[in-house]
Amino acid sequence: MYLLGLAILLSLLKLAEVGPVAAWSWWPILGVYAAAAAWWAWADASGYTKRKAAQRMEQRKKERIERQKQAMTPGQRRR
């Protein structure tokens, strides 16, 4: 995602002719787009994306269980 953001930023700087990016060829900017595409292809092929999603779901599950435990504790006020 960071590579895509960088590529878009560089494209906007190139189109607006701002700073040293204005003098660059389009090839380095297109190279950043290619790197973003390669990263996404690798992440999907290797299972990295699914592992990260599973970790986020597991963390949410743990937080939900902890909130429910706290809500069941006698003498505790609801928040």
For residues 41-62, average pLDDT: 92
d(CA 37, CA 31): 10
Cα torsion through 43, 44, 48, 52, rounded to 10: 110
- Give residue 78's pLDDT band: very low, low, confident or very high (50, 70, 90): low
Tell which wins on pLDDT, 79 or 31.
31
